[in-house]
Chain A
Amino acid sequence: MAWLGVLYIGSLLLLFATAFWHTDPFTSKVIPGFTLENFQELVVQEAYRNTAVRTIGIALAVTILCAALALPLGLFMAKVAGPKLRAILAIGITLPLWAGYLVKVFSWRITFSQGGPLDWVLAPLGVDGMGYGQPAVVVTLAYLWFPYMAVPVYTAFRQIPDNLFNASADLGAKSWGTIRTVALPLLKPALIAGSIFTFSLSLGDYIAAQFVGGKTQMIGTVIAQNINLNPPLAAAFGLVPILVVVAYLFLARKSGALDAL
């Protein structure tokens, strides 16, 4: 029964160990030992450092974009829409989860393609579509992980009793004031829960970058490129998302959001 567990945990530990090995530059053989070379290279090599920072930046941008879209949508679904419309929208935001990861990446590859739909829509306005690149990666990843943010935010909006809003209005707060001072603090746990998914899923992704990113490289790109040539370096880079995710979870726990899950 434990064989899978042993295999998995064993693999993770071996990965951790491999990060401290090095590759013989002539034979490309991996030699066990203990060296901090790989980590040193990650920090010293500007390209690698930039890739790590860029990836974290993309993951943060995706998270912010998802939250910015999920908040008004969740508010509309929970407090404005009628029961029938609400049910349709609730299905509507979760349905794309089943449509297949590559299919969704492909749909944005078409959208952003040169002379494609986006260029066509924007042409009368005299604007060029942005084409493949970093913004396209952010949009595609946000599209992929949006349901993970939208569902908890919508659920949290539903749980806020209406009379809290009424009380706030009675005390003289305008719509915006109510949302900022009453709703947002109550939504914080849901936003953090959603952001854990949007952030960590974006952090490990490299396929979106490959197909809509143009020359954009992410941590995953470097791992994928090195997995055969220089496994220790790939392993060391593989530890970066683990560390960042653990740090993120730690911050989330500190803010108390995880208790509400």
Chain B
Amino acid sequence: MQLSRTAKFSLGAFAIVAMAGIYLPLLLVITNSFNATTSGAFPIQDWTTKWWVAAWHNEGVREALWTSIKVASIATVIALVLGTMISFALARYEFFGKHTVNLLVVLPIALPGIVTGVAFSNTFKHVFEPLGIGLGMLSVIVGHATFCVVMVFNNVQARLGRVNRGLEEAAMDMGANLFTTFSQVTFPAIRSALIAGGLLAFALSFDEIVVTTFTTAPGTETLPIWIFNNMSRPNQAPVVNVIAAVLIVFSMIPVYLSQKLTGDDRD
């Protein structure tokens, strides 16, 4: 493209500034976790690792982490089963209202999370609480599963569109029953889509805060809820900072590696 030298230079400078803007705040969280003062005063005068030790021994963090893992795992399993079923129903069968269902499935991510959260909170309070099922772990899982389904559905549906149906028919012609056909032919074809959708669902659930806030009850604290509750407490802020630093490192390294592995041969 015919860009002047100055234009190219200023665009390059802009890109550098933009990238700095994206990564400096994250770097800041990591360095600030070694800041000895609780106020987060800058520049850092005294360096310490005591907050890391405190975070490691923090019972609340451990419990919240365990709750998060449980919720995310169960929600992901539900999402895998339901998401696969819905995408098969929509890809393989014609039925009345199919397009409406197609639209409704993506609604949980199209609408702001707060709407989903308020809707579920409202339902659990007015319909299920009188029946003895109040807000708690179950309602959190239901809330999470609702948007996790969308992730699995999107991935599996995209894959099903490209799977050759002739293979399934061939398997059946050769005498395989429905179950054998699924486990030997269909499942291997959609396996990677299921893994991708499942990972995405797990990651989303693990990070979710808004729907969780509205569907949880005291006693059920996921890791984001724990962070949320402790971020404003001055004496807990350094521990929150350590957890945030850990989350940055743990979430970005695997993604960076996998993108680098798949990205190199693409370009």
Which residues does A use to contact B, with CB under 8 Å? 1, 4-5, 7-12, 14-15, 18, 30, 69, 72-73, 75-77, 79-81, 83-84, 86-87, 89-96, 98-104, 106-111, 113, 115-117, 119-120, 143, 146, 162, 165-166, 168-169, 175, 178, 200-201, 203-207, 211, 219-220, 223-224, 227, 231, 234-235, 238, 241-242, 245
A178 CB contacts on chain B under 8 angstroms? 1-2
Additional 18 contacts, C-beta under 8 A, given A14-B119, A242-B115: A11-B120, A11-B122, A15-B122, A79-B3, A80-B11, A91-B256, A100-B247, A103-B227, A106-B227, A111-B28, A115-B39, A117-B42, A168-B2, A175-B2, A175-B3, A200-B110, A220-B210, A227-B118
Given known A15-B122, A79-B1, A231-B125, contact A96–B26 (CB-CB < 8 A): yes
Say whether B7 faces chain A, with CB atoms less than 8 Å apart: yes
Q: Do A242 and B2 touch across chains, with their CB atoms under 8 A apart?
A: no
Is the contact region of chain B dominated by helix, strand, or loop, or is it mixed? helix
| A117 lies within 8 A of B252 (CB) | no
A-contact bits for B233-248, CB 8 A (1 contact / 0 none): 0000000110010011
Q: Enumerate chain B residues within 8 angstroms of A76, measured Cβ to Cβ.
A: 11-12, 14-15
Q: How many angstroms between the C-alpha atoms of A4 and B123 in the bound complex?
A: 13
* C-alpha gap A221/B252 in the complex (Å): 30
Q: CA A235 – CA B40 in complex, angstroms?
A: 38
Whether a CB of chain A sits under 8 angstroms from the CB of B8 is yes
| Chain B residues packing against A (C-beta within 8 Å) | 1-4, 7-8, 11-12, 14-15, 18-19, 21-23, 25-26, 28-29, 32, 39-43, 78, 82, 85-86, 89, 101, 104-105, 107-108, 110-116, 118-123, 125-127, 142, 145-146, 149, 203, 207, 209-210, 213-214, 224, 227-228, 231-232, 240-241, 244, 247-248, 251-252, 255-256, 259-260, 263-264, 266-267
